[in-house]
Amino acid sequence: MKNSCPICHSDSYKNHLEHGEVNYIRCKVCDMVYLKDMPSNETLARFYSKDFFNSQTDDFIKNSTQIRKERLASIEALIPGKGRLLDIGCGQGYFLKEAKDKGWDAYGLDISDYAARHSKKVAGVDIFLGHIHDARYEDSFFDVVTLWDVLEHTKDHIKILNEVRRVLKKGGIVVASTPNAGSMDAICHKYKWPYFDFEKCGHILQFTPKTLKRSFKKCEFHIENISTRGSLDIRYVPSLWGVNLSNQFILHLLDGLSGFLAKFTVPLKFGNIIILYATKR
């Protein structure tokens, strides 16, 4: 089944990247990249089972403490005091726990039954199982809403963002992170770029800074800041030609070159991850 663009609803598209039976297409009007054949809601529900979260090792998630602290600190730098915070797609619940421990009135939401139960155990807060438009939160209820690595997994992100705007207080902050399909890694590695996720098709939408900004502006958010993180990892470039590098000296040189390129890729918004901060005015 063909799908219209999730941003502008145009049916005019061109092929962006195809591998096997999976085909990402690009809207000719607004440049949004998305799966040509989107999975059903039933398929998505099965996808986000315990196995999905177990593929993210407990050690990796638990040891990402510094990332969670930095994320929360970036929010607290923009908003005075503590208030109500909703983490959409709360996953394993560790960011929620960080927020709760710092004095936030934390709420979580996830479509995965396993994630909801795990988050409640980790963070000690009630988790809504389902989509945000089914939660029926009050108007202007939250001071902060976070969408860490969530929007790329959705079929109708505009509907989600409109609901986020409804439940967010005036002056409230929404933060979103998502892979950057316009990154140097994505351009150079093509279908081997891991965030294209050809094997599992969990990433339905693929954003660039341009299309992410367009999405938030369509929902009448004011963009406060948008940046990218992560640079081109050129250690993997030789593998595109079937070259397997095992020499540690050469790998060390490639690491150094990757670090040098970061000085250019991040300021130019070519990093692997987009982070956007927006407010409701």
Q: What pLDDT score was predicted for residue 260?
A: 58
- Of 61, 160, 58, 49, nearest in space to 112 by CA: 49
Q: By mean pLDDT, which of 80-89, 123-132, 238-247, 262-271 is the weakest?
A: 238-247
All domains of the chain, ordered by start, with CATH?
A: 41-279 (3.40.50.150)
Q: What pLDDT score was predicted for residue 43?
A: 72
Q: What is the dihedral of CA 212, 136, 131, 100, to 10 degrees?
A: 80
Q: What pLDDT score was predicted for residue 236?
A: 52
pLDDT digits (tens, 9 = 90+) for 99-157: 999 999 999 999 989 899 999 999 999 999 999 999 999 999 999 999 999 999 999 99
Q: By mean pLDDT, which of 100-109, 182-191, 252-261 is the weakest?
A: 252-261
Three-state DSSP state, 211: helix
Three-state DSSP state, 250: helix
Q: What pLDDT score was predicted for residue 188?
A: 79
Q: By mean pLDDT, which of 5-9, 154-158, 209-213, 254-258 is the weakest?
A: 254-258
